[in-house]
Amino acid sequence: MIELTRGSADYTDARERYLEHLPEAEQLFGFGDFMLFRLLPADARYTGGFARAYTLSRAQLEAAARAALEESA
């Protein structure tokens, strides 16, 4: 987990994404103790139903995130 520094490009980008999903949270950014963090998962577990459970590595998660970004652009 990495704390994003206020005023950095990463913070600004994360703030915009946060507010896209939770626009009513705008006021939180005015509080001095409100922070944003980047989570860096080591892996993830996906359960898609009976006999369909998978462990995804960090590399697989990153590839899926890149594909999702490209698809939405």
CA pair distance 16, 25, nearest whole angstrom: 11
What pLDDT is attached to residue 47?
93
* Domain range list for the chain: 1-40, 42-73
Nearest alpha-carbon partner for 72 in 23, 17, 26: 17
Say if pTM beats, i.e. exceeds, 0.75: no
What average pLDDT does this structure show over 46-71?
92
Q: Which residue, chain included where needed, has tokens 């995130």?
A: 65
